[in-house]
Amino acid sequence: SLLSIMGSVTLSIFTIIFSVKFIFGNLGNIFIILVNCMDLINTRKISLADHLLTALAISRVGLIWVLFSSWWRDMFFPNFWMNLIMVRTMYIIWIVTCHFNIWLATCLSIFYCLKVANFSNSIFLYFKWRVKKVISVTLLVSLVVLLLYLLQSNTHMNVLIDEHKRNISYNSSLQNFPEFSKLVLLSNTMFTFIAFALSLTTFLLLIFSLWKHLKRMQHSVRGSRDASTTAHINALQAVVAFLLLYTTFFLSILTELWITKFPNILYFYFCLAGEIAFPSVHSFVLILVNSKLKQACLPVLSWLRCGSKDESPHS
């Protein structure tokens, strides 16, 4: 029928979109890791920003593969049986990779804000002069939050497993845990709100700092873009991309859990395509706003352009 054909075409489109994001997400994040590792080998040192970028890229490769494994299982093995250990392991890996994706990106936003923004406030200057300590404390807080998150999720999991054992036989499938998934989402919202609020604060501070800087620049050469303005815009691009893509990621998870009441494979793949955009697309934004990564990317693009010209037929 026409509806089945349209459904198959739509499913194929979502599969292609998901596959493209999966491939390019891996390439972008692995590129960041390789460039920073090569820089570490050559110079024997690595900056704080590169530390954060490398750790973020590693965590995003992990999250991309978690999403890919979920897609692969539901695409090719929809009736795959999952035992208790597999369910628990799956949720722990998802929680850890998602947590570090959000908090490392937040630390990067804080770093950009403290390095780029200019305020005469004594508290801001105190943090600006101690940016490494601020990032270290933020990461330490994130680890405490992760521990609390895992303990709470484990408690919910144990309660649901006990109910599951009482209601049906122990050997039954534990594949679908919609109640636990909703509790995970609720916990994720609560525990990542701090990170999201911090990133939103850095965005507002960068906007205000840029406005003050442009106001000062009105009395100088008009139409010119100085280094500070460029730095503000680059930092804003990274922070805005993170906020928008994380919002898309969160709304996709919310929609995916909501449609568990009305299972539809098309909606599921639509949600997965939205989820994988967060660890994939944001990495390319970070490459574009980072001068070192952007310079390292130019030879690769030039090589690809030359390769495509060599393969083209001569007229």
Residue 241: inside a domain, yes or no? yes
Please write the tens of the pLDDT for every residue from 55-98.
Answer: 999 999 999 998 888 888 777 766 666 666 777 788 888 888 98
Q: How far is Cα 39 from Cα 221, in angstroms, rounded to an integer?
A: 37
> Is 311 a member of any domain?
no
Domain count, the chain: 1
3-state secondary structure of 157: helix
In a domain? residue 299: no
303 located within any domain: no
What's the farthest any 2 CA atoms get from each other in the chain? Answer: 77
Give the C-alpha separation, 205 to 201, whole Å. Answer: 6
Here the tokens at position 64 are 């991309």
Average pLDDT over residues 181-206: 75
Task: Kindly state whether residue 68 falls inside one of the protein's structural domains.
Answer: yes
Residue with token string 């037929």:
313
Q: How far apart are CA 279 and CA 75, in angstroms?
A: 21
> How high is the pLDDT of residue 78?
63
Q: What is the pLDDT of residues 247-266, one digit of tens each?
A: 888 888 777 766 655 556 67
**Mean pLDDT of all residues in the chain?**
78
What is the distance, to the nearest Å, from the Cα of residue 20 to the centroid of all Cα atoms in its chain? 16
What does the pLDDT read at residue 219? 62
Given a cut of 80, whether residue 180 has pLDDT beyond it is no
Is pLDDT above 50 for 174? no
Q: 99 pLDDT exceeds 60?
A: yes
- Both ends of the chain: CA-CA distance in Å? 45
The whole-number average pLDDT for the span 220-235 is: 69
> How far is 113 from 94, CA to CA, in rounded Å?
29
User: Within a 10 A sphere around the Cβ of 278, how many other Cβ atoms?
Assistant: 29
pTM beyond 0.75: the answer is yes
**Residue 133 neighbours by CB distance under 10 Å:** 11
Which tops the pLDDT comparison, 5 or 177?
5
**Domain presence at residue 144:** yes
Residue 194 in this model has a pLDDT that exceeds 70: yes
Which range among 35-44, 121-130, 133-142 has the greatest average pLDDT? 133-142
Range of the domain at 123: 16-217+231-291
Planar angle of CA 42, 44, 45, nearest 5 degrees: 115
Higher pLDDT, 260 or 287: 287
40 part of a folded domain: yes
In a domain, 307, yes or no: no
Please tell me whether residue 79 adopts helix, strand or coil conformation.
coil
CATH number at residue 144: 1.20.1070.10
- Of the ranges 8-12, 110-114, 254-258, which is most confident? 110-114
Specify whether the CB–CB gap between 239 and 199 falls below 8 A. yes
Calpha distance 167→158 (Å, rounded): 14
